[in-house]
Amino acid sequence: MSKFLMVFRGSLAEEMEFPPEKMQAYMQEWMTWIDAMKSKNIYLGGEPLQPDGCTISGADKVVTDGPYAEAKDLVGGYVLIKADNLDIAKTEALNCPIYQANGSVEVREVMLMDEHMPS
């Protein structure tokens, strides 16, 4: 069984516009979705991310405050699951509540480094 990372992008701005009742229901849907993966014993972890941070780039290691990507590209959190293949992981991602806030989910298989390192 492989590990798959789901990266959540671009829903924060719209989520912040939700009235309190809708936000509460939305958060409950997230918990229900995560609990469903836990009940299948495929959920390995995940957390939302704070909106601030920094970016370090290039050979000179230039530090820029904040992620400051366009709102649609801003990474808001992640979930790590285990699944037999990408299709199964994708099916789990299709049930994510983020689409209600016009967000997106990137699903990627985690590469196991020891399988790619020379012996």
- Give residue 54's pLDDT band: very low, low, confident or very high (50, 70, 90): confident
Please tell me the CATH superfamily of domain 2-116, with its number: Dimeric alpha+beta barrel (3.30.70.1060)
Domain segments of the chain as ranges:
2-116
Query: pLDDT exceeding 90 applies to what percent of the chain?
Result: 69
State the Rg of the chain over Cα: 16
What's at 98, amino acid-wise? I
**Token pair of 38 as six digits:** 């836990």
Average the pLDDT over 57-75 and give the result.
81
For residues 109 and 85, is the Cβ–Cβ distance under 8 A? no
pTM confidence score: 0.86
Q: What is the pLDDT of residue 68?
A: 65
CB 76 within 8 A of CB 10: yes
